[in-house]
Each structure stands twice: as C-alpha cells, then as structure tokens.
Amino acid sequence: MVIIDNKTELSHLVDQYRQKGKIIGFVPTMGALHEGHLSLVKKSKELTDITICSIFVNPTQFNDKADLELYPRMPEKDAYMLEKEGCGVLFLPEVSQIYPEEDKRVFDFGNLERILDGTSRPGHFNGVAQVVSILFGIVKPDKAFFGEKDYQQLLIIKELNNLLQLKVEVIGCPILRESDGLAMSSRNMLLSDEERKAASLIPNLMQEAKRLKQQGKTIPEVKQFVSQQLGSNPIYKLDYYEICNATTLSPLNSLNNSGKSISLIAVFVGKIRLIDNLALD
C-alpha cells in the first residue's frame, strides 16, 4: 500500500492508474477504523481495480470543538489494518492540504438537511459536503463507498454528486454491527464500560419499535415508547427518534404514508453521541 500525504502527488498517481484503464474506488473516512470501514474497502475491492482510502478528521464538519478534539486518532494502526485488507493507496492529508484557505462555500440540500442531524448539528452537512467535494476533486473516483450507518449523510452525498455533476457512482453499504447489535462506530471506543453496556439498548429499542409499528401502533405511540424507555435511565439523552420517508427523509406521522420508511435515532450515552437507523419495510 502506498501512503501519500500530498494531494498533487495523489492526483498524479490516480492519473497514471486511469491511463492504464483502471477503475478507481474511493473510501473516505475519519480514521479509528473498524470492521464497518473495512467492509467498504472490501466492497470497493470487489467492484474496482484500485482502492484509495482517505483518513482525514475534517474540522469543518464539527460544530462542537470538544468533539473534534476528542475524536480518536490512530493512523499507524489504521494503516496496518488497511494494508492487511489490500487497500492500494492511503491518503493521509494535513488540514492545509485540504483547506489551503478557508472554504466559504455554502450548499443547500433543501429539506434533506433541515431535519435530524441537519438541525441537531448546524453546519455539519455543509462541512461534509465541502470535504467530500474536495476529496472527489483530488481522487476523481469512478465509485465511492459510504456506509448506511450515516444514512442522512449518504443521501446528502448523492445529492451533492447530482448538484455538482461530479459523475461519481455513490454506493451505499450496509451497517456492520457488534455482536450485541450496536452499530460499529469510532465513537464506541470513547464509551466507558458502563456506557458501552448501556449502548446496546439502542439497537434493541429500534427493533422493538419496528415490531410495535408492524403490530399497528401509531407513529406517535412508537415514538413515545422509545422516548419513555430511554427516559427511564439518566445515562441516556435522546436527541431524536424519527420515522421518515427513506428517500426524502420527510417525517411520517401516520401509518398510511406511501413509500419506504426508515427509523433514525441519535442518543447521547453519557457524553458520547451515537446514531443508528433501521429500515421499517
């Protein structure tokens, strides 16, 4: 695996691959890698000739400075895992490589960003759009792989790709989970033992809520159930639990809404904010 920290060098390397007719796959990450990230690398290896992974903790997508500072960083371990997985190139840029000057672009993703993490983390998706558009500009991938774990982000990146006509095939990949059902996340390692145990309620609650909905409970009843369950222990603080149209993310309020639906949750366990989602159809 080649490790590159310079964007011009990476662009030249990519040009060489492309001249040889290679299909380029791209997996952007913020590092502290786990099996969820590696599943994206595996998918890329399956569908492309060269897999490029980036590790960049993007400052513009953190609306909370403490969260940015707390974010785990372990590039050596990450590089080892990627090499073992057969990743071709690791791009590890400094902030000055990505943002030689302040990125003042403001994107508008309409209703997609006016809900859920869009309102809970103001500016977050704008920062995501900035970094992804810059990284796509450097790597110019044929295909890029993103996890359904960050479901709203995946929809926004597809929209960004359309808006800027980037012509990248954006491929969503399923959520990988720990044995107790908790969605894998770099943030899980920040949980204390007690918080980690408590976090397993999240996937169980989502499944239970899905069953209740299938049994005919109304959406307000299902939402109330989730909020009551989490309210019974002060270790949790529910940010949101919503049932939305899976394509537009418009919240559904009755059972006879058309189209596929998805439940999405954000919960603080202690100080750590975890997100998850579950398709309901």
Q: Active-site positions? A: 37
Ramachandran sector of residue 61 (left: φ over 0; alpha: ψ -120 to 50; beta: rest): alpha
- Smallest gap, in angstroms, from Cβ of residue 34 to ligand AMP? 7
Handedness of CA 214, 215, 218, 223 (dihedral sign): negative
- Smallest gap, in angstroms, from Cβ of residue 256 to ligand AMP? 31
Beta carbon nearer to ligand AMP, 55 or 209: 55
Beta carbon nearer to ligand AMP, 195 or 213: 195
User: What is the distance between the alpha carbons of residues 156 and 158, in angstroms, rounded to a whole number?
Assistant: 5
Nearest residue to ligand AMP, scored by beta-carbon proximity: 147
Beta carbon nearer to ligand AMP, 48 or 185: 185
Beta carbon nearer to ligand AMP, 70 or 255: 70
The structure tokens listed for 275 are: 């997100």
The identity of residue 44, as a single letter, is: S
- Smallest gap, in angstroms, from Cβ of residue 224 to ligand AMP? 28
- Smallest gap, in angstroms, from Cβ of residue 128 to ligand AMP? 9
By CB under 6 A, name the binding residues for ligand AMP: 29-30, 36-37, 39-40, 146-147, 149-150, 173, 175-176, 183-186
User: What is the distance between the alpha carbons of residues 4 and 55, in angstroms, rounded to a whole number?
Assistant: 11
Beta carbon nearer to ligand AMP, 176 or 264: 176
- Smallest gap, in angstroms, from Cβ of residue 19 to ligand AMP? 28
Q: In what order do the strands lie in the sheet with 89-91?
A: 2-4, 89-91, 50-55, 24-29, 143-147, 169-173
